[in-house]
Amino acid sequence: MGYHKVPCSVLFLFLFISVCFSYQCLADGVEANQTGQLLIDASEGSGHPIPDTLFGIFFEEINHAGAGGLWAELVSNRGFEAGGSNIPSNIYPWSIIGDESSLIVSTDRSSCFERNKVALRMEVLCDSEGTHICPSGGVGIYNPGFWGMHSTSFLIQNIEQGKSYKVVFYVRSTAAVNISVSFSGSNGLQTLASANIIASASDVSNWTKMEVLLEAKATNQNSRLQLTTTKEGVIWFDQVSAMPLDTYKGQGFRNDLIEMLADIKPRFIRFPGGCFVEGEWLRNAFRWKESIGPWEERPGHFGDVWMYWTDDGLGYFEFLQLAEDLDALPIWVFNNGISHNDQVDTSTILPFVQEALDGIEFARGDPNSEWGAVRAAMGHPEPFDLRYVAIGNEDCGKKNYRGNYLKFYDAIRRAYPDIKMISNCDGSSHQLDHPADFYDFHVYTSASNLFSMSHQFDRTSRTGPKAFVSEYAVTGKDAGTGSLLAALAEAGFLIGLEKNSDVVQMASYAPLFVNSNDRRWNPDAIVFDSYQVYGTPSYWVQHFFIESSGATLLNATLQTNSSMSLVASAITWQTSKDDQTYIRIKVVNFGSNSVNLKISVSGLDPNSVKLSGTKMTVLTSTNLMDENSFKEPTKVVPTESLLKNADKEMTVQLSPHSFTSIDLLKESVSLRITEADSTSVSSI
Ligand code: AHR
């Protein structure tokens, strides 16, 4: 038979080579530089304009991103509604200070607020004198702030020394009251700030709003808000709020978190979800009308997809305000009568359509219009710049989607011809069977899949609706809780989107935020707790694209050996600050070999334009699965260096598993001579 005995040494070599190929050990261990070439045409008129809106953010109320996150409110379940309207109800996460011999706490439906009738009733049995003396610190209730059901740390109120906090609550009593309002450490022993509210019986015989400013004497990241008394009687509380005075532009957003957003200069913000918009059941979906008006009057709701209560302090108005504060265009996703488990029939969808129309009027209607007037009363007479709405989220495959969609589409087109509408159905590989301005495209996949999807839109039809890649991310084991590997794949994907930005007009990573006390989804771009924050490598990738929206994409051709995993693009843009023109080249080396990349920039007049290097920025790390953390928040972040020897022809070395950007300044030769001359003249 054709059987040959193979010597052991040959077998060993074969084994070694196969192992090397599967684990790419040649690249990791041995110097194995590869070479490639990137040809960039920078001549006038080369390439195409990139939409102003290309890169933005998607904010979803998930992982306590808003309630207990971006929205700086420190009290959770401030109206005691979270336990439901059946009395008596659970007042979680409120807790009681004192025992049943000193006070009885329950709920009733006596609130002065029509849309949230539940109030807390506190019957104090002890006093500061007589036979039954109250404990020295008094008895009452406390609120530890927000938490995750499975959290290891239950307290996330952060109180900072020297900062002021506005505490507001509503109170009623049958007798005079003396209430201590304080922030204290998690065990109640350390008092961080306190004030006393004293009112006569007649002052509080009806519901009365109390307001007090507390200035913190010390810092404590695990604090709680306490309402206590040493006076016998019955007191009702409702709508208890504690807000730091120091918020972004004074609008209620937590400074450190919103600055992470402002730093990536998002051109749009899609909100408020995601599945949060749909709900597991329609009765638990986010409904904008329930989220506007005075905060005290908002009923709040239980988001049954991500399984937590929100008081809706961050409501529709605040989302629009957030967009304005970030100088980003708002993209409102509304419920189209479809949740994960139930659907409104198309024949009865009109009330939902009217709700969407009213929502648009609220955002941009004249202050004299019905809903524009409500917005104006909330302090924003000028319309918000709402130009885009998404009709539902991920509902394309659902039975009533097309029927419902068309009802919304027709009504909105008629009332607001300029509003751009986004369909849930993917039009990247075939034409949609319904009219739309944009189609939504979501992708969560492995690193290698996403990297190869840098070509996803290469063959998409150039006519018809444009793509909005409103959710993308590497998930699963490649991603961990935010790995370099995931970020590199995403960088490759984004370069692909940038190169196809004639059809892809908007893109955003998802999810944006996670409160580390309540991880509902992994990974996320920004991780925080009560007082710390860091960006995952996926967040830092987005920094490389800050200049892309509104820039010009240059024609760039990559010539590489087919085994190399490189993706590259080149853009040019003019800065508004100093009116300079730059070229930025971005390259992802997804492989495990280092690469010597020769870059040639053509099309520039050698007599009038010179290229000089400004900086080279690299995102990489020792291990592919490296992540950032509270302990090491900057383990995987871009590093910048000065770019020496930059020219129209140059070679750069790309590290294995890296994302590199190179900024070149287009200098006018004649200008340089003039500047040099004037310098030498003045220095003589
Ligand atoms: O981003 C997390 C979730 O993923 C979104 O809520 C949903 O749209 C998608 O399925």
**Whole-angstrom distance, CA of residue 339 vs CA of residue 275:** 8
254 and 325 belong to one structural domain = yes
Q: Measured in angstroms, how far is the CA atom of residue 276 from the centroid of ligand 1?
A: 8
Q: Of 532, 523, 483, 480, nearest to 153 (Cα)?
A: 532
The pLDDT of residue 273: 98
The pLDDT of residue 669: 77
Considering only CA atoms, give the Rg of the chain: 29
The pLDDT of residue 633: 98
Q: Would the pLDDT of 366 be above 90? A: yes
Pairing label, strands 438-445, 420-423: parallel
User: What does residue 355 show for φ and ψ, rounded to 5 degrees?
Assistant: -60, -40
572 and 602 belong to one structural domain = yes
Q: For residue 646, what pLDDT band results from cuts at 50, 70 and 90?
A: confident
Kindly state the greatest CA–CA separation across the chain: 109
Distances in whole angstroms, Cα of residue 232 to Cα of each of 229, 521, 684: 8, 47, 87
Q: Would the pLDDT of 225 be above 90? A: yes
Name residues contacting ligand 1 (CB within 6 A). Answer: 60, 62, 273-275, 393-394, 471, 510-511, 521
The pLDDT of residue 45: 85
Q: Which helix (DSSP H) or strand (DSSP E) does residue 412 occupy?
A: helix 401-415
Distances in whole angstroms, Cα of residue 88 to Cα of each of 7, 83, 261, 392: 82, 9, 42, 36
**CATH number of residue 398's parent domain:** 3.20.20.80
Q: For residue 65, what pLDDT band results from cuts at 50, 70 and 90?
A: very high
Q: Which domain covers residue 557, as residue numbers?
A: 34-52+551-666
505 and 595 belong to one structural domain = no
**Whole-angstrom distance, CA of residue 166 vs CA of residue 162:** 13
Q: Would the pLDDT of 61 be above 80? A: yes
CA dihedral 335, 338, 344, 350 (to 10 degrees): 30
Is residue 116 included in any domain, yes or no? yes
The pLDDT of residue 154: 52
Question: pLDDT for 132-148, tens place per residue?
Answer: 999 999 999 999 998 64
Q: Would the pLDDT of 149 be above 90? A: no
Q: Would the pLDDT of 125 be above 90? A: yes
Is residue 567 included in any domain, yes or no? yes
Q: Would the pLDDT of 675 be above 70? A: no
**Whole-angstrom distance, CA of residue 97 vs CA of residue 661:** 57
**Whole-angstrom distance, CA of residue 560 vs CA of residue 570:** 16
Residue nearest to atom 7 of ligand 1 (CA): 274
Q: Measured in angstroms, how far is the CA atom of residue 565 from the centroid of ligand 1?
A: 29
The pLDDT of residue 276: 98
The pLDDT of residue 482: 98
436 and 520 belong to one structural domain = yes
Q: Which amino acid is at 490?
A: E
Mean pLDDT of 271-295: 98
Distances in whole angstroms, Cα of residue 387 to Cα of each of 26, 160, 261, 536: 52, 39, 21, 31
Could you identify the atom of ligand 1 that is nearest to the CA of residue 275?
Answer: 6
144 and 232 belong to one structural domain = yes
**Whole-angstrom distance, CA of residue 96 vs CA of residue 67:** 23
The pLDDT of residue 215: 98
**CATH number of residue 41's parent domain:** 2.60.40.1180
403 and 522 belong to one structural domain = yes
Q: Would the pLDDT of 611 be above 70? A: yes
DSSP assignment letter at 290? G
Could you identify the atom of ligand 1 that is nearest to the CA of residue 276?
Answer: 6
The pLDDT of residue 610: 84
**Whole-angstrom distance, CA of residue 551 vs CA of residue 534:** 28
Q: For residue 32, what pLDDT band results from cuts at 50, 70 and 90?
A: low
Mutate to test the pocket of ligand 1, among 275, 468, 509 (most ligand atoms within 8 A of CB): 275
Residue whose pair of structure tokens reads 């007090």 in the numeric block: 212
Is residue 638 included in any domain, yes or no? yes
Strand, helix or coil at 432? coil
**Whole-angstrom distance, CA of residue 659 vs CA of residue 652:** 13
Mean pLDDT of 170-177: 97
**Whole-angstrom distance, CA of residue 674 vs CA of residue 91:** 74
Q: Would the pLDDT of 30 be above 70? A: no
The pLDDT of residue 608: 78
Give the pair of three-digit tokens for residue 316: 């529709």
Buried b (16+ CB within 10 A) or exposed e, 337-374: bbbbeebbebeebeebbeebbbbbbbbbbeeebebbbb
The DSSP-derived string for 322-382 is: HHHHTT-EEEEEE--SB-SS-B--GGG-HHHHHHHHHHHHHHHS-TTSHHHHHHHHTT--S
DSSP assignment letter at 629? -
Question: pLDDT for 451-500, tens place per residue?
Answer: 999 999 999 999 999 999 999 999 999 999 999 999 999 999 999 999 99
645 and 600 belong to one structural domain = yes
Mean pLDDT of 383-394: 98
The pLDDT of residue 25: 35
**Whole-angstrom distance, CA of residue 17 vs CA of residue 303:** 54
The pLDDT of residue 188: 83
Q: Would the pLDDT of 11 be above 60? A: no
Mutate to test the pocket of ligand 1, among 57, 58, 59, 60 (most ligand atoms within 8 A of CB): 60
Q: Would the pLDDT of 367 be above 80? A: yes
Q: Would the pLDDT of 73 be above 50? A: yes
Is residue 90 included in any domain, yes or no? no
CA 152 to chain centre: 23
Q: Measured in angstroms, how far is the CA atom of residue 604 from the centroid of ligand 1?
A: 45
Final residue belonging to a domain, choices 521, 544, 567:
544
99 and 48 belong to one structural domain = no
Question: pLDDT for 594-603, tens place per residue?
Answer: 999 999 999 9
Mean pLDDT of 649-663: 96
Strand, helix or coil at 427? coil
**Whole-angstrom distance, CA of residue 165 vs CA of residue 192:** 11
Q: Would the pLDDT of 24 be above 80? A: no
Count of Cβ atoms closer than 10 Å to residue 321 Cβ: 21
Residue whose pair of structure tokens reads 């007042």 in the numeric block: 91
Mean pLDDT of 579-586: 94
The pLDDT of residue 306: 97
Is residue 130 included in any domain, yes or no? yes
Is residue 580 included in any domain, yes or no? yes
The pLDDT of residue 448: 97
Distances in whole angstroms, Cα of residue 207 to Cα of each of 110, 119, 169, 172, 426: 10, 11, 10, 5, 53
Percent of the residues in the chain that have a pLDDT greater than 90, as a whole number: 85
Q: Measured in angstroms, how far is the CA atom of residue 225 from the centroid of ligand 1?
A: 33
Q: Would the pLDDT of 232 be above 90? A: yes
Q: Would the pLDDT of 563 be above 80? A: no
Is residue 343 included in any domain, yes or no? yes
The pLDDT mean for the chain works out to 91
449 and 557 belong to one structural domain = no
Buried b (16+ CB within 10 A) or exposed e, 512-532: bbbbbbbbbbbbbbbbbbbbe
579 and 499 belong to one structural domain = no
Final residue belonging to a domain, choices 493, 518, 544:
544
Mean pLDDT of 193-203: 97
434 and 539 belong to one structural domain = yes
Is residue 27 included in any domain, yes or no? no
Residue nearest to atom 6 of ligand 1 (CA): 274
Q: Of 283, 74, 62, 302, nearest to 167 (Cα)?
A: 74
Preceding peptide of 330 cis, ω within 30°: no
Sign of the dihedral through C-alpha 72, 73, 76, 82: negative
Final residue belonging to a domain, choices 544, 563, 595:
544
Percent of the residues in the chain that have a pLDDT greater than 70, as a whole number: 91
Mean pLDDT of 32-43: 90
* 426: Cβ contacts below 8 Å, ≥ 6 apart: 396, 439, 440, 441
Q: Would the pLDDT of 2 be above 90? A: no
The pLDDT of residue 3: 35
**CATH number of residue 225's parent domain:** 2.60.120.260
Number of H helices, E strands in the chain: 12, 35
**For 152-156, 222-226, 473-477, 526-530, which range has the lowest pLDDT when averaged over its residues?**
152-156
Looking at the structure of the chain, the number of domains it has is 3
Distances in whole angstroms, Cα of residue 615 to Cα of each of 308, 611, 646: 45, 12, 10
Mutate to test the pocket of ligand 1, among 304, 426, 444, 445 (most ligand atoms within 8 A of CB): 444
227 and 254 belong to one structural domain = no
Residue nearest to atom 5 of ligand 1 (CA): 274
Query: Is residue 156 within 8 Å of 114, Cβ to Cβ?
Result: no
Strand order in the sheet with 609-619: 48-49, 552-553, 566-574, 581-589, 658-668, 609-619, 639-642
Residue nearest to atom 3 of ligand 1 (CA): 274
